Chain A
Amino acid sequence: MASTQDIKRGVVISWKNDPHLVTEFEHIMPGKGSAFVRTKLKNLKTGKVLENTFKVGEKIDLVDLEKRKVQYLYASGDKFAFMDNGTYEQFELGVEVLAGFEKYLKEGLEVVLLFSDGTPITVEFPKKVSYKVTEAEPGVKGDTASGRVTKEVTAENGLKIRAPLFIKEGDTIVVNTETGEYAERAAE
């Protein structure tokens, strides 16, 4: 049986007899009490989102999800199309399923779709994705507020991100999709 340490974003647990997708989680330690995990859960049957606080160590039931590696094809409106390269099956995901991660999509990107009862319910992104920089103003002053000198650059898929001053058009940069931050310049 699984426990609270298995709770993370994208995991589906069986809770109160319904499958629930973990959309957010946070560890809390009141110090004078045990540790807890505060979660946001989406009921996959009703679509209702609710919060629950689990005690660390509490037993939970993980729902096994079917995983399929797919390639991103294109977007049309609020829908995003993916294809399983083995079976040539295509799947369409709404923007609500991608939950903000749609900005990291680029043509040909491989991601993992997780299925519950044949329906794709969430996407696992690679932690690091590289992009070609299509716009980067040279020699701007940069933003020193955070103590790190950065500037905004635009990637091939339209993603705007803060990167160090030395990044120029044509460079390939690696972005951490978990933190949403620039990670490094890819070696050519």
Chain B
Amino acid sequence: MPKKMSLKKEKGRQEKFLLRAKIISLIRDFFCKENFLEVETPSLVKFPGMEPHLDPVKVSLPILDGRCEVYLITSPEYAMKKILAAGFRNIFQICKSFRGGEAMDELHNPEFTILEWYRAHADYKDIMKDVERLMVYIARNLQKKTGDNLKLKIEYQNQEIDLTPPWEKLTVREAFRKYAKIDLDKVLSRETMAAAAEKKGYVISKDDSFDDIFFKIFLSEIEAHLGRKKPTILYDWPAQMAALSRLKRTDPRYAERFEVYVGGLELGNAFSELVDSAEQRKRLVAERKLRKKLGKVIYGLDEEFLEALREMPPSGGIAMGIDRIVMLFTGAKSINEVLFFPASKIF
């Protein structure tokens, strides 16, 4: 009776690539069985994501009568939402996304493979279940044996992680209380958050925004605890960090957003999608303003996307990093072990 999955932690480089192909094929199987439609959306776009801290790659595209400045997508989110608005219910996509301005380290490659899916008439709680079931589906089918003896424990970087649902679900508020001994409800403004951080000995400058101080505490005191024995779903983020998610009806100080952590890897980010076009426009304008302040490239709002939100049903959606999922199941410490041609070796 195998105690753990038959995937050993030490593995040849070649075997990692065989597993990579197998995992991607299992992901397609999973969504096919769930009656999801696989879609393809453009890599070249006029209006890339407005996330303030991302640096989209600019491309000079030769066209018949000259050149046209376009961008590579940082995620396929806007286009997939247009497809939802057009009436397709459950859709998924596996595609490359591109982010400049980031270090090429063990967790980042400027082009990486995203798995993104949306469920119409659903919310982030449904997506949490999808994530659990998808990961279990991959784990089960990577094992050579079948039957009742299957165990859902995997080993990653000398940790044993039990993938059996339900996973650990922590609100961001609970995580702050548990690991940083801070009551997040009381520090939801920039000033109160700064005061709490300074009391703990953090050095806070005038330029630090609420998000910056939040992350200083989160990265120093909280992140390392997440997803260690079981995967952790960290949910209900402060409204300031809602991005493209809707606020909680019962408590609009928080947004229906979650992140998934497994064994030190952040695997994905999910939302109950915001379908209020006016609110979305407000957020995009604010983000563009912040981009300008940060000295980032500025571009227009995707009006078609804003228009589509009027037709889009309430939906849940998520983007997960396939390279990191492969790292987890192959025991790879670095993303470079699961890419044939890591960018750090090319550039």
A147 with B14, Cβ < 8 A, contacts A32-B269, A52-B203 known: yes
What 0/1 readout, one digit per residue, does chain A (100-118) give for beta carbons within 8 Å of chain B? 0000000000000000000
Interface residues on A, range: 20 to 34
Restricting to B3-51, which residues have a CB under 8 Å from any CB of A?
Answer: 10-14, 51
Interface residues on B, range: 20 to 34
Task: Note all chain B residues with C-beta closer than 8 A to A53.
Answer: 215-216, 219-220
Interface secondary structure of B, over-half rule: loop
Q: Is A34 a contact partner of B220 (Cβ separation < 8 A)?
A: no
Q: Is A33 a contact partner of B12 (Cβ separation < 8 A)?
A: no
Pick the contact of A147 from B12, B208, B241 — CB < 8 Å? Answer: B12
B15 to A, closest residue via Cβ:
A147
Report how far A16 CA is from B204 CA in the complex, Å: 11
Report how far A147 CA is from B207 CA in the complex, Å: 48
Q: Is A34 a contact partner of B212 (Cβ separation < 8 A)?
A: yes
User: Chain B nearest CB: distance from A43 CB in Å?
Assistant: 12
B53 at interface, CB cutoff 8 A: yes
- Of the listed stretches B100-108, B128-136, B137-145, name the one at the interface; the rest are far from the partner chain: B100-108
B183 at interface, CB cutoff 8 A: no
B160 at interface, CB cutoff 8 A: no
Task: Note all chain B residues with C-beta closer than 8 A to A16.
Answer: 203
Restricting to B94-132, which residues have a CB under 8 Å from any CB of A?
Answer: 99, 102-103, 105, 108
Q: Is B203 a contact partner of A33 (Cβ separation < 8 A)?
A: no
A58 at interface, CB cutoff 8 A: yes
Task: Note all chain B residues with C-beta closer than 8 A to A140.
Answer: none
Restricting to A19-62, which residues have a CB under 8 Å from any CB of B?
Answer: 27-36, 38, 51-53, 55, 58-59
A50 to B, closest residue via Cβ:
B201
Report how far A25 CA is from B268 CA in the complex, Å: 24
Q: Is B103 a contact partner of A30 (Cβ separation < 8 A)?
A: no
Report how far A31 CA is from B77 CA in the complex, Å: 15
Report how far A145 CA is from B205 CA in the complex, Å: 48
B243 at interface, CB cutoff 8 A: yes
Q: Is B103 a contact partner of A27 (Cβ separation < 8 A)?
A: yes
Q: Is A35 a contact partner of B102 (Cβ separation < 8 A)?
A: yes
Q: Is B13 a contact partner of A55 (Cβ separation < 8 A)?
A: no
A34 to B, closest residue via Cβ:
B53
Q: Is B241 a contact partner of A32 (Cβ separation < 8 A)?
A: yes
Report how far A166 CA is from B202 CA in the complex, Å: 53
Pick the contact of A58 from B51, B99, B205 — CB < 8 Å? Answer: B205
User: Chain A nearest CB: distance from B164 CB in Å?
Assistant: 28
User: Chain A nearest CB: distance from B7 CB in Å?
Assistant: 14
Q: Is A145 a contact partner of B12 (Cβ separation < 8 A)?
A: yes
What 0/1 readout, one digit per residue, does chain B (246-275) give for beta carbons within 8 Å of chain A? 000000000000000000001001000000
Q: Identify the interface centre among A15, A33, A34, A144: most chain B CB within 10 Å of its CB.
A: A33
User: Chain A nearest CB: distance from B316 CB in Å?
Assistant: 18
Task: Note all chain B residues with C-beta closer than 8 A to A36.
Answer: 215-216, 219
A87 at interface, CB cutoff 8 A: no
Report how far A15 CA is from B203 CA in the complex, Å: 9
Q: Identify the interface centre among A27, A28, A30, A144: most chain B CB within 10 Å of its CB.
A: A30
